[in-house]
């Protein structure tokens, strides 16, 4: 199995060195490059060909949100994870809407970080517990009755499921409330993601709430 190739993007050299030392001892992970800001990262990503980019949220010249948005368009094969000390809504929602597959806080454990890199390389979404809690809390407060882009592509049942996803409901809760099986819920979610061109249920929830 090929090693997961990682690009480190952080304006603090000490942080980059620490991350490199942490990851270099992990089997199956290879640090292929570093960048001190988003401008440099975009310049080297073609040469380093990373699978995963660990991106700081706040950097000079080009911050993490702008970088991730650019990466999603210009280098869609790169899975971007924000690794930041900031858990502010603008950064969290901006990064996720921009195409980030994860958002971790810098106080996460080494094991959590390594696991997140492996998950991201498989296309899975990874959120630290505080970030996930904030995301769900914000989604539950957002009205989800209005129209949203692509709504016309969904069936009435899919729309029901979509609005419950946007409210933070899990598959089991949706199944119980709609008197259908969890498998049927999963099928509806997969169908909606395909129709709307979205990666996962997090992006679906963000689409519905207009975040």
From first to last of its 211 residues, the chain has per-residue pLDDT tens of 689 999 999 999 999 999 999 999 999 999 999 999 999 999 999 999 999 999 999 998 999 999 999 998 899 999 999 999 887 788 888 888 888 988 999 889 999 999 999 999 988 888 888 887 777 666 666 555 567 788 888 888 888 888 888 877 888 888 888 888 888 999 999 999 999 988 888 888 888 876 6
Strand partners, 103: 82, 127
User: What are the tokens at 177?
Assistant: 């409330």
pLDDT given for residue 178 in this prediction: 84
CA–CA distance, 91 with 55 (Å, rounded to integer)? 12
Q: How far is CA 186 from the centre of its chain?
A: 20
pLDDT given for residue 146 in this prediction: 61
Chain segment 129-157, per-residue pLDDT in tens: 888 777 766 666 655 556 778 888 888 88
User: What are the tokens at 54?
Assistant: 């660990």
pLDDT given for residue 104 in this prediction: 92
3-state secondary structure of 198: coil
pLDDT given for residue 88 in this prediction: 79
3-state secondary structure of 158: helix
198-205: Cβ within 8 A, 24+ apart: 199/99, 199/101, 199/123, 199/125, 200/125, 201/165, 202/96, 202/125, 202/127, 202/135, 203/96, 203/97, 204/162, 204/165, 204/166, 205/135, 205/139, 205/165, 205/166, 205/168
């Amino acid at each position: 199995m090929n090693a997961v190739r990682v690009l480190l993007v952080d304006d603090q050299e000490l942080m980059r060195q620490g991350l490199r030392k942490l990851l270099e001892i992990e089997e199956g992970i290879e640090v292929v490059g570093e960048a001190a800001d988003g401008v440099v990262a975009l310049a080297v990503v073609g040469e380093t060909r990373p699978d995963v980019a660990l991106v700081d949220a706040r950097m000079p010249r080009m911050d993490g949100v702008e970088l991730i948005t650019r990466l999603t368009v210009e280098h869609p094969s790169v899975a971007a994870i924000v690794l930041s000390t900031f858990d502010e809504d603008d950064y969290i929602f901006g990064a996720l809407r921009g195409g980030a597959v994860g958002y971790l806080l810098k106080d996460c454990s080494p094991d959590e970080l390594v696991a997140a890199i492996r998950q991201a390389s498989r296309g899975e979404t990874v959120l630290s517990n505080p970030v996930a809690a904030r995301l769900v809390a914000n989604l539950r407060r957002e009205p989800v009755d209005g129209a949203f882009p692509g709504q016309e592509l969904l069936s009435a049942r899919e729309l029901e499921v979509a609005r419950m996803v946007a409210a933070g409901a899990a598959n089991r809760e949706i199944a119980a409330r709609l008197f259908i099986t969890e498998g049927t819920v999963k099928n509806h979610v997969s169908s909606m993601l395909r129709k709307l061109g979205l990666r996962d249920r997090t992006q679906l929830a963000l689409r519905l709430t207009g975040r």
